[in-house]
Amino acid sequence: MTQPHYDVVAIGNAIVDILAQADDAFIAEQGMTKGAMQLVFSPEEADALYAKMGPGREVSGGSAANTLAGIAALGGRTAFIGQVADDQLGAVFAHDIRAAGVRYDTPVRAGQPTTGRCMIFVSPDGQRTMNTFLGASHYLPADALDRSLIADAAYLYIEGYLWDPEEPRAAMRAAIAVAREAGRKIAFTASAEFVIDRHRADFHALIDGGMIDVLFANEAEIMALTETSDVDAAIAAVQDKVETVVVTLAEKGACAVRGGTRTTVPAAPVTQVVDTTGAGDLFAAGFLHAQAQGRDLEASLTLGALCAAEIIGHFGARPQVDLKALAARTLG
């Protein structure tokens, strides 16, 4: 097996985050569930909600794309596969992710729908309520995959959010086959409870079939996946089927189980929670970067926790400090 050039290649939603502050009353008036993510299914509905947003910031986002930007900031080599439309938001996405040091070559999609967008309302307590119109990203075809790129990465990272539509689901299955044939590892993030509820059988088939090497989930997601009400029982239900199970535990830190051994680290200290957008994405960035460098589980979890703490201390899902220096202090 040849030495891979890239640490992580990811497939995910190519969307632009639009972040604006909003109070709890506004969120309730719009019928949103505070702190949750809901899908917006039509461009008209997306435009109407966008018109109601206050002053905000636009930055390329998407769960897997955020993770890659974090890995690149840590000094890792990354590439992204995801589809935008030939429009202004598509140009914003492409510019931002390339400027972050991530290779991005996926061809744009002509015509409708427009580039995906995630309208994020950030509450005074830092909670984010997301409304996502997935747009062109949900039409990613298998023939848009760069198979040589996938085979040239130590890890293929897949986000559960993109499992919903038929075309990208087929693309991700094809990518998994390419990675497996090349002898690479596959990391999968469960993404959200509603995704798990819709695709639990598929996710179990991947797990039972040995198609996932690293499974990322938070407490609620791992319990939803296993249909249990206890996080320890949920971890036990999958730990013998996946090489590494990684579970974030909010203020209690995070844990990983490999070979029957459980490693736990505390949450990194945060002066103030400003915006939790991207916390899980950056945790995955720190963990995968450390793993790609051959570090053990404790170091990987610790770097993940530090990256997550950095993200929730400011507005937006992209790092604002020197993560290379953070990694150097953590990993030595």
Inform me whether the pLDDT recorded for 275 exceeds 60: no
* pLDDT tier, 324 (very low <50, low <70, confident <90, very high otherwise): confident
DSSP state letters, 256-316: EEETTEEEEEPPPP-S-----TTHHHHHHHHHHHHHHTT--HHHHHHHHHHHHHHHHTSSS
Average pLDDT, the chain: 90
Nearest to 83 by CA among 134, 19, 153: 134
Radius of gyration of the chain (CA): 18
Question: For residues 284 and 64, is the Cβ–Cβ distance under 8 A?
Answer: no
- Enumerate the domain spans of the chain: 6-13+62-112+136-331
User: 321 or 152: whose pLDDT is higher?
Assistant: 152
DSSP one-letter code for 321: S
Mean of pLDDT values over 261-287: 82
Nearest to 231 by CA among 242, 219, 215: 219
Inform me whether the pLDDT recorded for 164 exceeds 70: yes
**pLDDT value of position 280:** 86
| pTM of the predicted model as reported, rounded to 2 decimal places | 0.89
Residues 291-302: tens digit of each pLDDT: 999 999 999 999
DSSP state letters, 26-87: HHHHTT--TT-EEE--SHHHHHHHHHT--SEEEEEE-HHHHHHHHHHHTT--EEEE---BSS
* pLDDT tier, 184 (very low <50, low <70, confident <90, very high otherwise): very high
Mean of pLDDT values over 130-150: 93
Inform me whether the pLDDT recorded for 274 exceeds 60: no
6-13+62-112+136-331 adopts what CATH topology? UDP-N-acetylmuramoyl-L-alanine:D-glutamate ligase (3.40.1190)
